[in-house]
Structure 1
Amino acid sequence: MDRIDAMRAFITVVTEGSFTRAADRLGMSPQLVSKYVSRLEEQLGARLLNRTTRKVHLTEAGDRYALRVQQVLDDIDDMDSQLNDLQEDARGQLRISAPVSFATLHLAPLLCRFQRAHPSVNIDLQLNDRKVDIVEEGFDIALRIGHLKSSSMIAKFIAPVRLVMCASPDYLTRHGMPSNPDELKNHRYLRYSYMEESPALPAHAWLRPPGSELSGGMICNNGEVLLKAVMEGSGIIIQPTFICGAAIGEGKLKVILPEYEPDAMGLYAVYAHRKLLASKVRCFIDFMEGYFGDPPYWDNFDDPSSS
């Protein structure tokens, strides 16, 4: 027997004044209502109602119990109503984990427009380039960039992420423009420490050939720092165009070996469950889809050195 159903049966008998009227209101037989109340009395070890052929009367224990039961049932109904509101309307706090550089460069306008469309959603954005544990750390969504491996998480593709190799005109004047991968062996490299190692990224191996890096190379876990360093003429980088595309378009960087460009990665929205998805999460994923364009707006640049 469900304890909550028994409590509802008891309190309905109290408010209606009889088992018959309570049964009509609950849509069940008087015998079942009586059974619920009797089982409840057995579990509590106390008589809650004195029954007569015409009416029921609360005992002292029943009177005290009825007050507490009504409060419990009201709290349950309020909780159910709030959860239903969360499912039907986009509201509540949306916790998002996102890569640092992508978020600082491209996420703020999207979040502002999303909140204008869904003003009842509060955003808690945490920036981190490490792979967070969505469930353990309490995130609703994690934005991830890469070639996602199979996992129990649900991943929604948002946009392609193009990678290019580039350096400043000043650096290339001093060290020469490589014409083939072999010539990369004599150059300085600025490497992103979280760069994936994958067959889909053959150029990644070029950026650190064994024993070939000159002194003055750099490794960093932030792409924007590497971008500023490479524009100062410090070496060669492979970076996503959402970081370096504008600098290429302005002539501050030149693309190296475009015919050997690595395979594109992807920007994904990753979340824990497909079923019973909260409306705030579903609305945000739907809002992101197609937002950045196809191709993404950060790829709409011309490399002056290619013309």
Structure 2
Amino acid sequence: MDKMSALTMFVATAEQGNFSRAADLLGKTPSALTKAVAQLEEELGTRLFDRTTRRMALTEAGRIYLEGARQALMQLQLATEDVEQLQHELRGDLRITAPPSFAPAFLNRVCCRFLTAHPQVKLEVDLSDNFEDPVDGGYDLALRDGPIDLPGVIAQPVVENQMLLCASPAYLARKGEDVSLDNYQQHDWLIFRHPLLNRHFWWVKQGEQRIRLTQPTPRVASDNYDFLLACLLDGQGLQFIPQWSAAPYLARGELVELMPQYWREPSAFGPWIYVLYLAHRRNTRKVKVFIDYLKAHWQEHQA
């Protein structure tokens, strides 16, 4: 019996709790599973299960071996998938999580372009401002501009998280284009509220000069970015927004950048948007191709 077949039978037995149920699951006979486990135990020189007439339970060695066996079978499955996809179209499921604000800014277009090019792939995209751990959530990819220090997760930067001060032409026609560090508090402000963000001041830089600005009293404050963006486009005030969000509106003239000689220091969200994925998925072709689509999008729009 080959090693991988024996490992499959051992894992099924451990997960089902007895040979009969595991045999039914795999379409094998109980004696075949008993033989496979006995073969592994002989090879290892130790028992993997404690067996009685009423029950069987993993030994300490069995628990350790089960984790390794699961990892080995998963790696084989991933390698098989990668080899198949080298010879055929991309296929299967790809699960992604990202903040809702990423969708209209760029993720919609990237996903649609990816789907058009790879019709055999099914996407599941969960949009939430709550941080979804790619490990616990079972995601192939996560896009984040917040804390990224997660064990076993690779974080690859894809675009800078540069902040721009913007207003609509309608607001500037109503309130005037004179916006400076001296009079900024006299303007109407739209301010995003988030537990990670300071509510009292901002830091901006001009060249090497670092300036602390007291946050003005907002005309509109919200914890929903898309709501504030709609208010910004409607001319309700000024707002610091990420360049990746502002870019299409600036290109169409729907927003105007103000005080470009100053730039706001990165907030607690950090200076980059990252794509996160589990270390064992780094060579999966679906993941690599989707990341390439993300990078290509930003190369096109920052050229």
Q: AA paired with 1:213?
A: T
User: What is the CA-CA distance between 1:227 and the residue it aligns to?
Assistant: 2.4
Q: Which protein has the larger Cα radius of gyration, Structure 1 or Structure 2?
A: 1
Question: Could you say what secondary structure the match of 1:291 adopts?
Answer: helix
- Note if contact 2:203-2:213 (Cα within 8 Å) is conserved in structure 1: no
Q: How many residues align?
A: 227
Match of 1:279 in 2: 285
Asked whether 1:108 is paired with 2:108, we answer: yes
1:261-290 per-residue CA deviation (whole Å, 9 max, x = no partner) reads 225732221112157643322332234333
1:249-272 per-residue CA deviation (whole Å, 9 max, x = no partner) reads 444333221111225732221112
Asked whether 1:221 is paired with 2:227, we answer: no
User: What is the CA-CA distance between 1:243 and the residue it aligns to?
Assistant: 2.7
Match of 1:99 in 2: 99
Q: AA paired with 2:81?
A: L
Alpha carbons of structure 1 residues 114 and 253: separation in structure 2 relative to 1, 3 Å: closer
TM-score, normalised to structure 1, is 0.59
User: What is the CA-CA distance between 1:195 and the residue it aligns to?
Assistant: 8.7
Match of 2:233 in 1: 231
- Whole-angstrom CA distance in 1 between matches of 2:172 and 2:79: 61
Match of 1:261 in 2: 263
Asked whether 1:141 is paired with 2:141, we answer: yes
- Whole-angstrom CA distance in 2 between matches of 1:103 and 1:111: 9
Over aligned residues, Cα RMSD in angstroms?
Answer: 4.1
1:188-234 per-residue CA deviation (whole Å, 9 max, x = no partner) reads 21112349648xx6259x99936x416x3332412x32222123332
User: Which runs of at least 4 in structure 1 moved beyond 6 Å after TM superposition?
Assistant: 78-81
Match of 2:67 in 1: none
- Note if contact 2:204-2:213 (Cα within 8 Å) is conserved in structure 1: no
TM-score, normalised to structure 2, is 0.60
Match of 1:85 in 2: 80
User: What is the CA-CA distance between 1:237 and the residue it aligns to?
Assistant: 0.6
- Whole-angstrom CA distance in 2 between matches of 1:185 and 1:95: 44
- Whole-angstrom CA distance in 1 between matches of 2:224 and 2:157: 24
- Note if contact 1:189-1:208 (Cα within 8 Å) is conserved in structure 2: no
- Whole-angstrom CA distance in 2 between matches of 1:171 and 1:80: 56
User: What is the CA-CA distance between 1:165 and the residue it aligns to?
Assistant: 0.6
User: What is the CA-CA distance between 1:154 and the residue it aligns to?
Assistant: 0.8
Q: AA paired with 1:236?
A: L
Match of 1:187 in 2: 187
- Whole-angstrom CA distance in 2 between matches of 1:80 and 1:235: 52
1:132-176 per-residue CA deviation (whole Å, 9 max, x = no partner) reads 111111111101135x55443211121224321122334334444
Sequence identity percentage? 27
- Whole-angstrom CA distance in 1 between matches of 2:290 and 2:80: 16
- Whole-angstrom CA distance in 2 between matches of 1:291 and 1:150: 26
Alpha carbons of structure 1 residues 195 and 110: separation in structure 2 relative to 1, 3 Å: farther
